Amino acid sequence: MTGETDVVLRASGLVKEYRRTRAVDGIDLEVRAGERVALLGPNGAGKTTTLLMLLGVVSPDAGTVEIGGHRLDRHRSRAAENVGFAAGYLPLTERMRVREYLKLFGQLYGIADPTAAIEEGLERFRISHLAEAMGTELSSGQRTLIGIVRATLHKPRLLILDEPTASLDPDVARRVRNGLLDLSATNASGLLMTSHDMGDVERVCERVVFLSNGRVVANGTPREIAAAYGRGDLEGVFLHLAETHDNIAAAQQTDHP
């Protein structure tokens, strides 16, 4: 039976406005331990702003974020200890070997045995052979994998990933997917990921939250959402919402030239 202690992320009534535009308009979001959730929507739907508020980079105009039972606005450090964040666009130190780079973060996280955590993370994503490589020697896909290992060294209760498989070749994307599934099953980490690859979402995530114009418009399993919108798959839903978003934007420009 699940309960309150299983909720690793709870966002309630999130609102954020920019220059009289409401980018996020009352979003509620929950992720439970071990649950794999996708946050989807067309460009301009509010995904990035929502992620920034969940990470504490941007303060909401209204609403609250609670991570691991700690309110982000009241106990930022305790909340942050429960989170890992990875994205392909985050920089990686080039003048350090991978093992040295990861050990540095292991120490910053306060991990008792960073060496064991590093070996576990590298093995999870099948990249142990990169331990002694310099940052300059890594491909973009390898950098993405190292970034995910770094974000998971401290076994966070919540892992947030922004486009984790964007621009990756099929082999590296598969390693990312398999590693995330293993992390969720082994450590009971809750996963929240954004992606424009609906195939990856359907392979990894058991629940999907669709945003459109700053609001949650669908929340359920991939199959439930596709059926609710009368589409064959998530890609069909995504394209429908993108067209709707563009039509609304065009109408607003006509009303306010």
How far from chain centre, in Å, is Cα 211?
A: 14
Structural domain count, the chain: 1
Using CA atoms, how far apart are residues 136 and 231, in angstroms rounded to an integer?
A: 44
- Predicted local confidence at residue 151, as pLDDT: 96
Q: Which structural domain range is residue 127 located in?
A: 4-255
Bridge partners of residue 220, in order along the sequence: 208
Block means of pLDDT (10 residues each) for the chain, length 257 residues?
75 94 95 97 92 95 96 94 92 90 94 95 96 93 94 96 91 93 94 93 95 94 93 91 72 58
Number of Cα atoms under 13 Å in the Cβ half of residue 131:
14
- Predicted local confidence at residue 1, as pLDDT: 40
CATH of the domain at 197: 3.40.50.300
- Predicted local confidence at residue 20, as pLDDT: 82
- Predicted local confidence at residue 2, as pLDDT: 47
Rounded to two decimals, the pTM is 0.91
- Predicted local confidence at residue 88, as pLDDT: 83
State whether the Cα torsion 26-208-49-9 is positive or negative: positive
